[in-house]
Amino acid sequence: MRLVFAGTPEVAVPALDALIASDRHEVVAVVTRPDAPAGRGRRLVASPVAERAEEAGIEVLKPAKPRDEDFLARLREIAPDCCPVVAYGALLPKAALDIPAHGWVNLHFSLLPAWRGAAPVQHAVLAGDEVTGASTFQIEEGLDSGPVFGVITEEVRPTDTSGDLLTRLALAGAGLLATTMDGIEDGTLQPVPQPGEGITLAPKLEVEDAKVDWTAPALRVDRVVRGCAPAPGAWTLFRGERLKLMSVGLVADRTDLAPGELAVTKKAVYAGTGSHAVELLWVQPQGKKPMRGADWARGVRIGDAERLGD
Instruction: Please tell me the least confidently modeled range out of 48-52, 82-86, 265-269.
Output: 265-269
CATH of the domain at 279: 3.10.25.10
pLDDT of residue 303: 86
Distance, CA of 233 to CA of 253 (rounded, Å): 27
pLDDT of residue 273: 98
DSSP classification of residue 64: S
Percent of the chain with pLDDT over 90: 95
Q: Are 289 and 246 in contact (CB under 8 A)?
A: no
Same domain, 51 and 138: yes
pLDDT at 39 over 90: no
The size of the chain, in residues, is: 310
pLDDT, mean over the chain: 96
Question: Which amino acid belongs to residue 244?
Answer: K
Please name which of 87, 43, 59 lies closest in space to residue 177, comparing C-alpha atoms: 87
Which pLDDT does position 122 carry in this prediction? 98
Task: Give domain status of residue 197, yes or no.
Answer: no
What integer pLDDT is reported at residue 147 of this predicted model?
98
Q: What is the mean pLDDT of residues 123-136?
A: 98
The one-letter amino acid code at 230 reads P
Structure pTM? 0.94
Q: Compute the distance between CA of residue 18 and CA of residue 143 in angstroms, rounded to an integer.
A: 26
The answer to whether residues 41 and 103 belong to one domain is: yes
Binding-site residue ranges for (6S)-5,6,7,8-tetrahydrofolate = 110-113
134 and 46 co-located in one domain = yes
pLDDT of 310 reads 85
> Residue positions in the annotated binding site?
110-113
Instruction: Compute the distance between CA of residue 203 and CA of residue 118 in angstroms, rounded to an integer.
Output: 5
76 lies in the same domain as 129: yes
Residue 252 has a pLDDT of: 93
The pLDDT score that the predictor gives to residue 119 is 97
| Structure confidence at residue 41 (pLDDT) | 81
pLDDT of residue 304: 83
Q: Is residue 195 part of a domain?
A: no
- The answer to whether residue 308 sits within a structural domain is no
**pLDDT tens-digit profile of 54-83?**
999 999 999 999 999 999 999 999 999 999
- Indicate whether 38 pLDDT > 90: no
141 and 276 both lie in a single domain = no
Segment 9-33 shows an average pLDDT of 97
Shared domain for 229 and 141, answered yes or no, is no
For 244-296, the pLDDT digits (tens) are: 999 999 999 999 999 999 999 989 999 999 999 999 999 999 999 999 999 99
Verify that 172 and 44 share a domain, yes or no.
yes
Note the pLDDT tens digit of each residue in 205-224: 999 999 999 999 999 999 99
**Domain enclosing residue 257, as ranges:** 207-300
Q: Which whole-number Å values give the CA distances from 95 to 103, 174, 257, 306, in the listed order?
A: 11, 27, 59, 58
Residues 85 and 128 in one domain: yes
Q: What is residue 3's predicted lDDT score, i.e. its pLDDT?
A: 98
Instruction: Say yes or no: 80 and 153 in one domain.
Output: yes
Please give the pLDDT value at position 40: 77
Residue 308 is predicted with a pLDDT of 97
201 has pLDDT over 80: yes
- Which pLDDT score is estimated for 42? 83
- The average pLDDT across 14-29 equals 97
Residues sharing a CB contact under 8 Å with residue 192, sequence separation 6 or more, in sequence order? 147, 148, 149
